[in-house]
Amino acid sequence: MSTPSARPDKHDHRTLGEQSWAVHGGNRPDHTTGAIRTPIVMANSYLLPDDPTSLDDADPDLLVYTRESGANQLGLQAKLAAMENGEAAAVFGTGMAALHAAFFTLIGPGDHAIVSNVVYGRSQGLFDTLLPAKMGVEVDFVDITDLAAVRAAVRPTTRLVHAETIANPDLRVPDIAALATIAHTAGARLTVDSTFTPPPLARPLSLGADLVIHSLTKYINGHGDAMGGAVIGSRELIDAVKTGALHHIGGAIAPFNAWLIMRGSVTLPLRLRQHCDNASAIAGFLHDDHRVAHVAYPGLPGDPQHARAAAQFSGGYGGVVSFALAGSHEDRVRFVNDLRLITSAVSLGHDETLIAYEQYTGVKAHAFAAPFREHGLIRLAVGLESADDLIADLDAALTATYGRPAATHS
C-alpha cells in the first residue's frame, strides 16, 4: 500500500475562469467507490506503506495523520492555492489559527512587526499582548494607508508588515503593492488578511504579498455553519507554515468542516456578486439618508478609500458597510432591536445579513473617523437577501427611532 499522492490536481485550475475553478478546483473523484465528489474522510490515520521508513518526511502533505494532512484538507488546499494564484496553501481550524501560524512562522524574539492600527480585534490582541509577551516581538501599530508613516516605522529588525485588504471594522484600504515594496526593501515579509475580499475580488499575492490569510468561516464557506482558516503563498513558505505551526501546534481543521467549506466555495464568485451589489445599494441608501451620521464603504465614489479600492479590487468592493448613528446609545440599541430581517450577530460573509453595534476603545478606536469615535460603529455584513427588503428593514428601524427622513444629503 502506498500513500496517495498529496500533491497536484488533475487540472491546473489557475488557467480556468473564476466559476470553473470554483466548481472543479480541488475536487477529486473517489477511486474506491466511483463517487464523483471527494467524500468526507473521517479518519484520524491513514494506512502506512509496506515499508514505513520509505516515507518522505520532508513532504508536509503526506497522508499519515489527520492533524498534519487529510483527503479533505488536500482538496481544499488545492482549490485555495489555485484561487489565490499561490503555489500552495495550508488550512486550519479557524482564521485565527491560520493568522497565528503565519506570524509564528515569520517572526521570533527581537523581531519587529508593523501592523495596521485597524485590524480584526483578535489579530490586534495577538500583536498588542500575546506576541510581545510570549515571543518577545516588538510591534508598532500604524495607519497602514499612510505610506510615509509605514516607512517611518521601519527598523533594522523589521521582519513583518501586516494589513487587511479592507480593515475590520472601519473599512480602510491599504495599497498592497506599495506595502510589499516597503516590506521587501526592509528585508521583511508582507502578510495580508484578505478575508473581506476573497477571489476574484482581490489577489494580494499578485500584488506582492508574501502570504495571504483567510478566515474561511466568512465568504469562502459562505453559509455561517463551519469555521476554518487558510494561509496561501509560495511552496517554500507554506511548507514552513505546515511543518512548524500546523504539525506542532496543531490547529487542524476537521475533515467535515473542510468538506463543508469546499461545498460552500463552489458558489463563491456568484455569491460575491450578490454581496457586493447588495452592499453597494445599501451604502448608497445610508449615504443619502440624513438620519445616518456617517457611512464607510470603499465602493462609494466619495469614500476616502475608493481610489485605492478601485485600483486593486476587481468586480466589487466587498459585502461590509460600516455606519454611525447619532442620538443616544439607547437610540442605537433600539434601532438594532427594531430590525426584523437583519440579525444582530457577529461575523460576516454569511447568507443572511448580520449587524453588530459596538463601541470601541484603544488603539483602533483612536484611529477611527470622528463619527465612529463619537457614536460607536455599526457593522452591517450584507447577505444574499433582496436588497429592497434589506433597505426596507433598515428604513423602518430608522423611522421607529429617528422619525421619517426629512431631506437627503446633497
CA atoms lying within 13 Å on the CB side of residue 124: 17
Query: Which one of 26, 229, 298, 383 is in contact with ligand PLP (CB under 6 A)?
Result: 229
To the query of whether residue 193 is one of the catalytic residues in this protein, the response is yes
Our finding on whether 170 is near ligand PLP (CB under 6 A) is no
Task: Tell me how far, at minimum, the Cβ of 218 lies from ligand PLP, in Å.
Answer: 7
Q: Using the rule CB under 6 A, is 209 a contact of ligand PLP?
A: no
Instruction: Confirm if 378 and 357 have CB atoms less than 8 A apart.
Output: yes
Instruction: Please give the full DSSP string across 155-207, using - where no structure is assigned.
Output: -TTEEEEEEESS-TTT-----HHHHHHHHHHTT-EEEEE-TTSTTTT--GGGG
Q: Is 46 an active-site residue?
A: no
Instruction: List, in order, residues 6 or more apart from 148 with CB less than 8 Å away.
Output: none
Is 172 catalytic? The answer is no
Grid cell, residue 105, equals: 512562522
Structural element, H or E, at residue 28: none
Element (H, E) at 344: strand 343-344
The residue count for binding ligand PLP (CB under 6 A) is 12
Residues 178-197 close enough to bind ligand PLP by CB under 6 A: 193, 195
Contact segment (CB under 6 A) with ligand PLP among 32-40, 90-98, 198-206, 286-294 equals 90-98
Query: Of 168, 191, 221, 278, which lies in the binding site for ligand PLP, with binding defined by CB under 6 A?
Result: 168
| 387-402 vs 329-338: helix crossing angle, rounded to 10 | 140
**Smallest separation, CB 72 to ligand PLP (Å):** 17
SS3 351: coil
In this chain, which of 77, 191, 215, 257 binds ligand PLP, going by CB under 6 A?
215
Q: Determine if 221 is a binding residue for ligand PLP (CB under 6 A).
A: no
The stretch near ligand PLP (CB under 6 A) out of 29-37, 94-102, 295-303, 365-373 is 94-102
Q: Which of residues 104-143 bind ligand PLP (CB under 6 A)?
A: 120
Contact footprint for ligand PLP (CB under 6 A): 94-96, 120, 164, 168, 193, 195, 215, 217, 227, 229
